[in-house]
Chain A
Amino acid sequence: MSVQHQDFDVAAEYAQLRQGNNADGALVFFVGTVRDRNLGDGVCGLRLEHYPGMSERILTELVEQAFERWPVSRVRLLHRVGDLELSDQIVLVAASSPHREAAFAACEFLMDFLKSRAPFWKQEAYLDADGTRCLRWIEGREKDRQALQRWDNIGADSLSGSS
């Protein structure tokens, strides 16, 4: 797992997951990027803040949970921080397993928790109706909070925040 400013190279990450890995027949990759519109406004960029120390700790715990719950052999979790521009890569979640079910499930689990249970905060730069550049903190979505419920039986107690 990594929390970093610099961009990542999906091809290089893919090569890593494949190298010396003849046992896994399935590799699943997810990449999240900066979209051009949000809440009806044009987005100029995103600033990703995090809680240094805790972000790495939580990502490490998440990866450990993925290994505990599913027969995945390799997992890669990478989250960028700092100032990002339109279409920049934000996050990479990848897993490999002998069969696809585990790799898909592990990646969904990791993304669901990353959205609202890891100490990162997004601040969006957007253009308002007058074309002025403004900043606003992004609020969590109910949809993301609800997505966590489907993993309830997994015993992610150490990862549960209040409410």
Chain B
Amino acid sequence: MIQVLLFARLRDRLGASVVNLELPSPCSLAQVREALVSGHPDAAELLAPERALFAINQTFSNDDQDVVTDRDEVALFPPMTGG
């Protein structure tokens, strides 16, 4: 099982700050994104790669490069607006 932390508009839209996904460990970020879209098809636009960014263990990551396990802290969040 892969756990994903959600922030900001993504959390509001998906209705949870933590989502648990039935996925094998390890799996790819692309699979994580796909699983979220399957579970929330109405939020598909918000879950697209440019609108939802991954971080693994608090470091930015890329869908096509990275793999996660059930021991990693995985987060998904919208483009950032700090400062």
Residues of A within 8 A of B (CB): 32, 48-51, 53-54, 57, 79, 90-91, 111, 114-123, 137-140, 158-163
Report the minimal beta-carbon distance from A123 to chain B, rounded to whole angstroms. Answer: 7
Tell me, in angstroms, the Cα distance from A5 to B56 when the chains sit together.
Answer: 26
Given A49-B7, A123-B8, residue A115 in contact with residue B83 (CB < 8 A)? yes
CB contacts between A and B, total, < 8 Å: 83
Can you list, as one digit per residue, whether each of B50-83 has a CB less than 8 Å from chain A (1) or not (0)? 1001110011111100000000000101111111
Apart from A57-B59, A137-B81, 15 more pairs, CB < 8 Å: A32-B83, A51-B77, A54-B55, A115-B83, A116-B79, A116-B81, A116-B82, A120-B82, A123-B8, A138-B81, A139-B79, A140-B80, A140-B81, A162-B53, A162-B60
B60 touches A160 (CB 8 A): yes
A137 CB contact (under 8 Å) in B9, B53, B60? B9
Given A160-B60, A162-B49, residue A116 in contact with residue B80 (CB < 8 A)? yes
A121 touches B58 (CB 8 A): no
Given A49-B7, A51-B7, residue A118 in contact with residue B82 (CB < 8 A)? yes
Given A51-B7, A51-B55, residue A121 in contact with residue B60 (CB < 8 A)? no
Interface residues on chain B, size class: 20 to 34
Tell me, in angstroms, the Cα distance from A39 to B18 when the chains sit together.
Answer: 32
B58 touches A114 (CB 8 A): no
B83 touches A53 (CB 8 A): no
Interface centre among B5, B9, B55, B82 (most CB of A within 10 A): B82
B78 touches A137 (CB 8 A): yes
A121 CB contact (under 8 Å) in B9, B49, B55? B9
Tell me, in angstroms, the Cα distance from A48 to B82 when the chains sit together.
Answer: 8
Find chain A residues with CB under 8 A from B55 CB: 51, 54, 119
Closest 7 CB pairs of A and B: A120-B82, A121-B8, A54-B58, A114-B83, A115-B83, A137-B9, A118-B82
Report the minimal beta-carbon distance from A33 to chain B, rounded to whole angstroms. Answer: 11
Given A51-B75, A121-B7, residue A161 in contact with residue B81 (CB < 8 A)? no
